[in-house]
Structure 1
Amino acid sequence: MKLSILMPVYNEEARLADALTQALDVKYTTDIELVVVDDGSRDRTAEILRGVQDPRVRAIFHERNQGKGAAIRTAVENATGEYLVVLDADLEYDPNDIPRLIQPVLDGHATVVYGNRTFGSHSSFSFWYVMGNKAVTTAANVLFNCYIGDLETCYKLMPVALYRSLNVSSRGFGMEAEVTGKLLRRKVRPYEVPISYRARSREEGKKITWRDGVQALWILLRERARRPGAIQLPTGVIPRP
């Protein structure tokens, strides 16, 4: 099994070098590649990427900023692994948790694995950020009659073929809700494992806003309202609870 770690970056010159080092220093239980997409950064992000010599890193550059969803779509198109997971370059997530996401797949217990964050005083950006995340997650649980703990988590591990089949169109942060909504419509319920998390502040570059929460709710409603149709999983992808 080969894992494609997808890293969308935008104006992350202060953190990118550390993010790459942390991701590459992990002792993975599978082969990996790190597909980094610079989404039209205006700082030294592209320069830093071009200086990386590790053969496991593949850098792709957008000429202009298109949004996180668009950057991930480009990364998915270029991924060569059987499975993928997204890792932001903002140092909020610990790459050492990625092997924990892989293990349920290797053990045959899951096809899709989410990293579930536990929010506390040291790990939350703000009260309203946490409440917004809980509201969006609760909406998904009500709409699709399921129970997941953290819809907006960056850590969503799944087969590359499955992600491609979802045809995710959201260009910004709404891709998190779209991915989950489309998975739940297909009766694919994520297996969740606990992960560590440390939110950065707005001053440190936090980009998500309340508008993204409203958009996520709209996307979930849209996906729930779609006609079920003939739901097909990609060849070789076996849904497990």
Structure 2
Amino acid sequence: MKTLAVLIPIFNEERTISELVAQLSMLPKGTVDQYVFVDDGSTDSSVMLLNQALTEVNFPHLLLKKENGGKASSVREGAIHLTTSHVVILDSDLELATSDIARLWAVVQDGKSDFVFGYRKFLAHSSFTWRYSRGNQILSNLYGLFFNEVITDIMCGYKLIPTSSLQQLPYKYNKFGIEIEIPMNMWKNHQRAYEVEVSYKARSRAEGKSISVSDAVRVILSMVVFRLSNKRSK
């Protein structure tokens, strides 16, 4: 039986966390079987607001707490506790529409693929900056060059995969490196993603946007090292 979990890393998201829970509660009944929230050492009121919001909804959830270590470490911690066949990773900043979870999950339920990635269209009303959108395009194109595969939006946080794949991930890369480690290991195992367009509303630096040029450089170096040191399975 195919079942779905939503894994949600959280770090200082007091601005959005209550609305996030409210939106998740409005997903079609039966879409999600488990919610796992991972607090990555928040120093604001995120956890208090999350606990308060969770008392007002009725869905199965688990709240984990850990020291700050970045997104990849939060995903790794959350993956240990998953009990479903599949999992989708969702950032807690509301840049991505929670309603798109049902659209990604429909691909799996229809038997099209067990791996589903979201991709964003960077338009005038939905882009952070021109440099950000073009930089993201460059990263996606470099991934295609190195691995000879098309992934439209490599850094999009919406990635739905079998739970076993997430639990077996080596987790060699920190922070936003999780966004490329998942597809790189899929490449290694001859697994390809089905892509679904998702809605996107970028937040500003003042609202907590944290990815930087240095993160992009680390991503590129990680792709180069992985490609040179790994071969595809037979």
> Which TM-score bucket, shorter chain as reference?
over 0.9
Match of 1:107 among 106, 110, 126: 110
Show the counterpart of 1:43: 44
Is structure 2 residue 125 aligned with structure 1 residue 136? no
2:219 corresponds to which residue? 216
Matched, 1:61 2:65: yes
Distance 1:16 1:43 in 2: 11
Aligned pair count reads: 230
SS in 1 for 2:131: helix
The 3-state SS of whatever aligns with 2:99 is helix
- Counterpart of 1:235 in structure 2 is none
Report the aligned-residue RMSD.
1.5
One of 176, 179, 194 as aligned partner of 2:197 = 194
Q: 1:57, CA displacement in angstroms?
A: 2.1
**Shift, 1:230, TM fit:** 4.4
Task: Tell whether 2:176 aligns with 1:173.
Answer: yes
1:21 paired with 2:22, answer yes
Unaligned ranges ≥5, structure 2: none
TM-score of the superposition, structure 2-length normalised? 0.93
- Deviating 4+ runs (over 6 angstroms): none
Q: Percent identity?
A: 33
Q: Is the 8 A contact 1:185 1:224 kept in 2?
A: no
Equivalence for 1:8: 9
From 138, 161, 164, the equivalent of 1:161 is 164
C-alpha separation in 1, matches of 2:111 and 2:128? 35
In the TM superposition, what is the alpha-carbon distance from 1:30 to its structure 2 partner?
3.3
The answer (yes or no) to whether the contact 2:6–2:32 under 8 Å persists in 1 is no
Deviation at 1:120, TM superposition (A): 0.3
TM-score (norm 1): 0.91
Unaligned runs of 5+ in 1: 232-241
Q: Which among 225, 228, 232 is matched to residue 231 of structure 2?
A: 228
Match of 1:82 among 82, 85, 88: 85
1:171 CA displacement: 2.6
